[in-house]
Structure 1
Amino acid sequence: MGRAGTGLAVLPETAAVLTVRRAVRSWLADTGVSAPVAVALSGGADSLALTAAATVEAAQVHALIVDHGLQADSADVAARAERAALGLGCASARVLPVKVSGAGGLEAAAREARYAALRAGVDPGIPVLLGHTLDDQAETVLLGLARGSGGRSIHGMRAYDPPWGRPLLGVRRADTRQMCADLDLPVYEDPHNSAPDFVRARLRGEVLPLLEQVLGGGVAAALARTGDQLREDDDALDAITAEASRRAHAGTDLDTAVLADEPAALRRRIIRAWLLDGGARAVTSKHLHAVDDLVMKWRGQGGVAVGGGAPGVRLVASRRRGRLTLERQTEGFEPPGRDT
């Protein structure tokens, strides 16, 4: 159950406090958000600093504390975060218990449970602010680079991707920690953030510090800046792709003759969007190039199975009579009517 706060906090004007406050103020101005906001509060330095700044910059702030139940003291941690939120001046604070389970490993399952709880915890239209910093952005870009799935995979996170707001993407983690120290706020140190079993934790504790040392500093900022630049480029390309996609569509199929006239980058974007719209999940570079070969390297090959089917059923992209088609096929089914 949520609890009501007592009013706005008054913050000292230290360098770290002003840095975080300016970031929140700029985000609110850039997005035009003036209604109440929610803040996802874990009790860590980033979300605590964000919550504190939001209470003096936003019209009204509601704290959402997700209790993953992954540590024996998780309920106590959540209760401390709730008290901190109310002490900082949040209008309300709610603890949202979740059960973490599912495929993809503990990190992915916890993230899925957390985001689902946060979505359900607010009314539609209310932004949920997340405490991701420039350092988190750098880690995200580096992870995307390692996947090798093209420019889209190294975009990083958007400052506003409704309902998610990330005002601190230009703020260093050192600033949020210093702000908490300036405000004498006790910070919760999640053991998962330093556990060597988690890839992101190793990036944070080992890989990025080594890159900073070897390359002479500035690596985190450079990675984040690269993500920003690629995201701007891809936004422009997405607009061009939408127009080209309209030309290539023939009902729910794609016309291979039209596709063949498009540049490779544009053609593969059209195909990727078509696959996702048709129910494909997690389209990989291998899938994309194999479907593209149905257009540009056609030699009568069979269809390409892409993720998105069901037990005993495959989602398959095929070429028939000059068109790309996407259908669900029972395992072992051989589609008739290939192109000649």
Structure 2
Amino acid sequence: MKDEGNPLTGPHPAVAACRVAVRDALGELELGTRVWVAVSGGPDSLALAAAVAFVARKQGLFAGAIIVDHGLQPDSAVVAERAAHQVRRAGIHTVYVEKVTVGRAGGMEAAAREARYAALEARIDAEGGLAPLLLTGHTMDDQAETVLLALARGSGARALAGIPARRGRIVRPFLTIRRKDTMMACEALDLEPWHDPTNFTEDGPRRSALRTRVMPSLVEVLGPGVVSGLARSAALLQADADELDRQARSAMGASVSAVRSDDWRCDMLAALPDAIRTRMLKMLAENRGAGPLTATHVAALDSLVTAWKGQGAISLPGGFEARREYGRLVISHPLEENQP
């Protein structure tokens, strides 16, 4: 790896920005905490690996990397091993390559993501340690793309809030870092990232078309601030969505003593503000085991509560159904009802 910077002037600005982002995201951790980096071999995850290696040395943390070989391309094993080599050059020497089989449920992108995170979580659990963390290289550009995709789907505030900076043990330090900065950091550190060819093909994933065709057009029309503007909107909506979810949980908790676990008074639900009620309905159904719910499912549930005109039961994921009985909303599973 290249010299990390002139002792008098410090590291390259992009390298410094990546390190600061990781340091701020991790905060104060106990000595020896295991910090794992999910690595694809691309510039974002390689720059993240290098930054984590640096911060881990300074703070006395254990740094490791996990590479998932999805097996979707003929040379995927070669790409994975090349990524492992680059990660070691970046300063992380505990590297695991996990090979997975990607299904087809929900589409290729969703199936690959599910298989990837399952493999990452399994490896972290196998290695153990006190409160280990998983860091991913999602950037500000990824955040902007996620917001645009959510807008196109007509999603609500939670989806428009984009990618959370932290969820459980998954931490995303680079949501304040541009993709161009991770590429500059790799160049400054003499790292050789892999560039996914599907990002540059006409028939690639939808996100690839958004990245290569739509975003450049938006920047041309609206100016270079469009990416940071979308990311800033996501951060603001994240705070709003978190507060609305908190109020929905509070309303649900305050009411649980008055109702059975599987039915709820519709007049009580209808009296809640729309933003609270719809979130509460989603939580109620998913807590019962029906999910994940789409906006269409939530709207149908809401119609049973606020616009009931004698309509029958509605189907929910997982074989559940929701219906209105004697002024109450009941969410149940037919198999449960048939048990003696």
Is TM (by shorter chain) over 0.5? yes
Out of 37, 48, 51, which is 1:50 matched to? Answer: 48
Out of 216, 228, 233, which is 1:209 matched to? Answer: 216
Displacement of 1:97 after TM fit? 0.9
Please say if residues 154 and 227 of structure 1, whose CA atoms lie closer than 8 Å, have aligned partners that are also in contact. yes
Instruction: Say if 2:224 is the partner of 1:191.
Output: no
Deviates more, 1:318-327 or 1:83-92: 83-92
Deviates more, 1:170-179 or 1:294-303: 294-303
Please say if residues 130 and 164 of structure 1, whose CA atoms lie closer than 8 Å, have aligned partners that are also in contact. yes
Please say if residues 39 and 46 of structure 2, whose CA atoms lie closer than 8 Å, have aligned partners that are also in contact. yes
Distance in 2 separating the partners of 1:289 and 1:76: 47
CA 1:321–1:235: 2 relative to 1, 3 Å: same
Displacement of 1:163 after TM fit? 2.2
Question: AA paired with 2:333?
Answer: R
Please say if residues 2 and 188 of structure 2, whose CA atoms lie closer than 8 Å, have aligned partners that are also in contact. no
- Residue 67 of structure 1 corresponds to which residue in structure 2? 69
Distance in 1 separating the partners of 2:231 and 2:294: 23
- Residue 312 of structure 1 corresponds to which residue in structure 2? none
Identity across matched positions, percent: 44
Question: AA paired with 1:152?
Answer: R
Distance in 2 separating the partners of 1:135 and 1:52: 20
Out of 118, 134, 137, which is 2:140 matched to? Answer: 134
CA 1:300–1:247: 2 relative to 1, 3 Å: farther
Displacement of 1:304 after TM fit? 1.4
Q: Deviations over 1:223-267 (max 9, x none)?
A: 111111011011111221112112444122111121121111111
Q: Deviations over 1:189-238 (max 9, x none)?
A: 11122233310001100111111111122111111111110110111112
Please say if residues 317 and 324 of structure 1, whose CA atoms lie closer than 8 Å, have aligned partners that are also in contact. yes
Q: Deviations over 1:115-158 (max 9, x none)?
A: 11101111353111101000011111111111112111111111
Out of 20, 23, 29, which is 1:22 matched to? Answer: 20
Distance in 1 separating the partners of 2:154 and 2:96: 39
Distance in 1 separating the partners of 2:2 and 2:135: 18
Note the residue ranges of structure 1 that are not aligned, 5 or more in a row. 1-7, 310-314, 334-340
- Residue 90 of structure 2 corresponds to which residue in structure 1? 88
In the superposition, the TM-score normalised over structure 2's length comes to: 0.88
CA 1:232–1:175: 2 relative to 1, 3 Å: same
Question: AA paired with 2:279?
Answer: R
Distance in 2 separating the partners of 1:316 and 1:144: 27
- Residue 322 of structure 1 corresponds to which residue in structure 2? 327
RMSD: 1.9
Distance in 2 separating the partners of 1:308 and 1:275: 11
Instruction: State how 1:290-305 maps to structure 2 within 5 Å.
Output: 290-305=300-315
Deviates more, 1:268-277 or 1:298-307: 298-307
- Residue 277 of structure 2 corresponds to which residue in structure 1? 267
Instruction: State how 1:124-163 maps to structure 2 within 5 Å.
Output: 125-163=131-169
Question: AA paired with 2:87?
Answer: A
Displacement of 1:186 after TM fit? 1.1
- Residue 8 of structure 2 corresponds to which residue in structure 1? none
Deviates more, 1:278-287 or 1:227-236: 278-287
Q: Deviations over 1:7-66 (max 9, x none)?
A: x9972201111111111111111x757612010111110000000011010222101111
Aligned length: 318
Distance in 1 separating the partners of 2:22 and 2:254: 42
- Structure whose residues are more often helix by fraction: 2
Q: Which runs of 4+ in 1 moved over 6 A?
A: none
Please say if residues 248 and 255 of structure 1, whose CA atoms lie closer than 8 Å, have aligned partners that are also in contact. no
In the superposition, the TM-score normalised over structure 1's length comes to: 0.88
Please say if residues 90 and 191 of structure 2, whose CA atoms lie closer than 8 Å, have aligned partners that are also in contact. no
Distance in 2 separating the partners of 1:307 and 1:298: 21
CA 1:166–1:9: 2 relative to 1, 3 Å: farther
